[in-house]
């Protein structure tokens, strides 16, 4: 897994954090990672990145060190334009286990444990194929391009 060690919240980091959630060995589930890889090729690239298979409690400490965070993930929903970017608010919505959290729960823990509430968004990129396979479907490749362009524009106003 890429960039798996979160920076300490004591480091005083600010700016934007992009967290991609997914698995590039499960077809279009790798859309979030593919978007980060595309963004990281830019020079200069003005955001921090993190790759996750799933969000966990420890990610609350990671996001606490930033002014804004965008959670990027593949979606089974077919969004108009191939992706959906939406504000994300803290919410105490825990499942049976806390080993896997949704972005709202991470933000809730960030606020409760660290007293921080970064501006937050979710970016869902529509996928079509979820089986065991490295690489994106044709549909996902088109949606990735649209999401890349949309996120680039949004980053200017975050």
- The pLDDT of residue 137: 97
- The pLDDT of residue 45: 78
* CA–CA distance, 10 with 129 (Å, rounded to integer): 40
> 59: closest CA among 11, 18, 119, 12?
18
Show the DSSP H helices in the chain as ranges. Answer: 31-40, 59-63, 103-114, 138-155
Quote the number of domains for the chain.
1
Q: Is residue 68 part of a domain?
A: yes
- The pLDDT of residue 100: 74
- The pLDDT of residue 59: 97
Give 10-residue mean pLDDT values along the chain (158 residues): 42 82 96 96 86 95 97 95 96 67 95 97 97 96 97 91
Q: Is residue 98 part of a domain?
A: yes
Range of the domain at 147: 13-155
List of residues 6+ apart from 25 with CB closer than 8 A: 132, 133, 134
Buried b / exposed e along 48-65 (16+ C-beta atoms within 10 A): bbbbbeebbeebbbbbbb
Q: What is the CATH number of the domain that holds 109?
A: 3.40.50.1450
Q: Is residue 8 part of a domain?
A: no
User: Could you tell me the pTM of the whole model?
Assistant: 0.89
């Amino acid at each position: 897994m890429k960039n798996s060690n979160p920076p300490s919240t004591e480091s005083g980091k600010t700016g934007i954090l992009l967290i991609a959630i997914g698995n590039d060995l499960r077809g279009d589930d790798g859309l979030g990672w593919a978007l980060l890889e595309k963004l990281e090729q830019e020079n200069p690239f003005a955001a921090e990145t993190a790759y996750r298979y799933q969000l966990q409690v420890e990610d609350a400490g990671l996001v606490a060190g930033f002014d804004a965070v965008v959670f990027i993930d593949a979606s089974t929903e077919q969004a108009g334009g191939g992706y959906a970017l939406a504000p994300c608010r803290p919410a105490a919505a825990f499942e049976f286990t806390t080993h896997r959290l949704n972005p709202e729960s991470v933000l809730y823990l960030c606020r409760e444990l660290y007293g921080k509430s970064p501006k937050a968004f979710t970016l869902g990129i529509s996928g079509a194929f979820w089986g065991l396979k490295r690489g994106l479907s044709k549909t996902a490749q088109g949606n990735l391009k649209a999401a890349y362009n949309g996120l680039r524009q949004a980053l200017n106003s975050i």
